[in-house]
Amino acid sequence: MTKVIVQGKVKGTVLKTTNPINFLGAIDKKTGIIHDQKIDIFEKSIKDSILVFPHGIGSSVGAYTIYSLKSYESAPLAMICKKADLTVASGCALANIPMIVVSKQKFDSIENGEEVEINTESTTILN
């Protein structure tokens, strides 16, 4: 079942990783470039993507990283997770980045590079 954590309506290209993300340690807060080599989208920028990842891990300050990304216009358009964690949920809430949680099956079916639309007001939410 798809669940809305932060509302919004956006369309964009999926950037997907199967690795959990520690926003404080793994992402440059100004550019949005991933600099943790252990993440399979290493050196890619999350800017203006629909970021698909299992969940956030590690530092609680990662919420500020999300807020900072938004201030520098380097944030993803939306985030799709398999599990909601407090750091990502609160960071997206403050930065007004739409965020949804999807089932494992749905998560597995989303492909890197795919065009998707999120509309938290519609009944299907994710298309």
Please identify, using beta-carbon distances, which residue of 24 and 116 lies nearer to another protein. Answer: 24
Length of the chain, please?
Answer: 127
Please identify, using beta-carbon distances, which residue of 6 and 41 lies nearer to another protein. Answer: 6
Indicate which residue of 59, 60, 103, 109 is catalytic.
59
CA proximity to 51, closest of 122, 2, 1, 116: 116
- Which residues in this chain contact another protein in the complex, by CB under 8 A? 3-6, 20, 22, 24-26, 29-30, 35-36, 38, 55-65, 67-68, 70-72, 83-87, 89-94, 99, 101
Please identify, using beta-carbon distances, which residue of 112 and 119 lies nearer to another protein. Answer: 119
Residue partners of 10: CB distance under 8 A and separation at least 6: 50, 77, 78, 98, 117, 118
Question: What is the token pair recorded at 16?
Answer: 């997907």
Taking the complex as a whole, how short is the minimal distance between the CB of residue 63 and another protein, in angstroms?
4
Taking the complex as a whole, how short is the minimal distance between the CB of residue 49 and another protein, in angstroms?
20
Taking the complex as a whole, how short is the minimal distance between the CB of residue 23 and another protein, in angstroms?
10
Cα-Cα-Cα-Cα dihedral sign, residues 111, 114, 120, 122: negative
Residue 59 annotated to the active site: yes
* Angle formed at CA 11 by CA 50 and CA 7, multiple of 5 degrees: 80
Residues belonging to the active site: 59
